[in-house]
Structure 1
């Protein structure tokens, strides 16, 4: 007797994939008019040594999909730690001319090669394969060059590894006070709640409710890692409902701080007394009452801090 296949939750799938650290690259090409085009990518991988093949994958929803499918080739520009701003620039949907103010040159094949990268590979398109919600582009490397001797820019669990390492150091050294963290969360998630009241779909509000139910149904003996993950889903669902990529990145950064504190610094205990306040936040969101949602969040933070004192943290209510 065969068992039914388990449904793969997209958000968890993406999170678990993030456990595999990857380098960050900017993939470039030229459009039909010869203008440079490019985007940030962490799906770059080697394929073959003979012939020399590499690949990257591109979302079917990408605005540059037609540009890459029509181009004869592309270039892979591997970024260093000092080029994290370039990563953000080429990942932003709000910047039309990604190459404005960026130092680059034309490669042997005419592909845009960004200066000072760790390495660059100029490729002819070898194959393009349909793969779910992405296309996989395979390129045959025709020219390559090395550059900066800096460390690679690495993406890990939703953040640049150099940032995650810095946050870990700050937490372990006790240089991040809980009062400052609480104030930051109140401001950050207060803004996200206001946005969610205006922008969230019913499906996104249902996701928040599912996260609330998951937290409330956790057994008292649930492992700390499970409690942290359930809370991360709750706050992550609020961030997603706010529809602001920059604030979502800030939320991921603050989640890293709280996770480090939970793991290495603070004692923990369950706080079922906070369940009603989380429900109040959800109900306010469904009524599209931003003022009530933010007020409930403020009371949640204050009550959680008052109940725990200085040495414990709500292990069911980690802001993430």
Structure 2
């Protein structure tokens, strides 16, 4: 590639990069070691990966901004603790910057190398440091496995698109089994997306408002015999555009979960057919957003949900 072409190539946008990398599901691990004073130290990580079988090598990467970078850089060994789906609270605990003593109240023991090994994990690997490399805004630690062990027979805790798949999978089962009623789901949509619409009226960029308009148009452009997959994609795109306009990461994660519910209901529960009677209500949501009237947008959403249940 020429120098001119290289300069003309668009820059990789970090937020989009993180979002797209999130399309690859990963397990969740707590990486532990001991600091210079011998105290246990640990953090949550989903960058764990195998490297080699001969010799047995694994790796994880750590942000250079992490407060524990010095402890891991100085240590000669570390342990990988693979979490089960019942240990999601441990994942949050070791990821929090507000908890000073991460090990307080946590069941753990000293492993064969004296490293902190968390009880009841799916698997643990005690490693000596094999190599350490600077890589952009992270440092990559490669370890040689010296001792390992298996624990409980639970399912793994899986991280996908910024959320634990355990929650999404549980919701999917409830939907398919018919255990989530219309009233509860409608209330969740009104509360979640009503809040996002009010936030979007204040925070959305012009491009994000245009994305909502485009999502509405995409739904209206379906022919009567449009495939179910296309209808699901456009319906999900409409609510995803609203979520993006709200600029709230926590609510956006909840919206991703609700998108899972929507897809499963459209696939297994709801009769999916053309609904031109809903077109004006979606347009009113988009128009109210453009007017920066969040309350009006939320009222239009409420009317949309009510009309959806009438026929």
Structure 1 range deviating more: 302-311 or 6-15: 6-15
Could you state the TM-score of these two structures normalised by the residue count of structure 1?
0.76
Q: 1:210-229 maps to which residues of 2 (within 5 A)?
A: 211-216=211-216, 218=218, 220-221=221-222, 223-228=230-235
- The residue number in structure 2 matching 1:164 is 168
Structure 1 range deviating more: 183-192 or 85-94: 183-192
Return the match for 2:248 from 205, 228, 242.
242
Is residue 27–residue 75 contact of structure 1 (8 Å, CA) maintained in 2? yes
Is residue 278–residue 300 contact of structure 1 (8 Å, CA) maintained in 2? no
- The residue number in structure 1 matching 2:88 is 84
Return the match for 2:240 from 216, 233, 241.
233
Shift in Å at residue 10 of structure 1? Answer: 5.1
- Structure 1 residues not aligned, in runs of 5+: 285-291, 312-320
- Count of residues in Structure 1 that have an aligned counterpart in Structure 2: 296
* Distance in 2 separating the partners of 1:151 and 1:226: 29
Shift in Å at residue 51 of structure 1? Answer: 1.5
Query: Are the structure 2 counterparts of residues 35 and 181 from structure 1 closer, same or farther at C-alpha, using a change threshold of 3 Å?
Result: same
Query: Are the structure 2 counterparts of residues 43 and 282 from structure 1 closer, same or farther at C-alpha, using a change threshold of 3 Å?
Result: farther
Structure 1 range deviating more: 54-63 or 3-12: 3-12
* Distance in 1 separating the partners of 2:12 and 2:214: 17
* Distance in 1 separating the partners of 2:192 and 2:156: 30
Structure 1 range deviating more: 186-195 or 96-105: 186-195
- Cα RMSD over matched residues? 3.4
- The residue number in structure 1 matching 2:47 is 43
- The residue number in structure 1 matching 2:26 is 22
- The residue number in structure 2 matching 1:281 is 289
* Distance in 1 separating the partners of 2:66 and 2:214: 33
- Structure 2 residues not aligned, in runs of 5+: none
Could you state the TM-score of these two structures normalised by the residue count of structure 2?
0.78
Q: Which has the larger radius of gyration?
A: 2
Is residue 80–residue 117 contact of structure 1 (8 Å, CA) maintained in 2? yes
- The residue number in structure 1 matching 2:209 is 209
Shift in Å at residue 216 of structure 1? Answer: 4.7
Shift in Å at residue 194 of structure 1? Answer: 6.6
Is residue 277–residue 300 contact of structure 1 (8 Å, CA) maintained in 2? yes
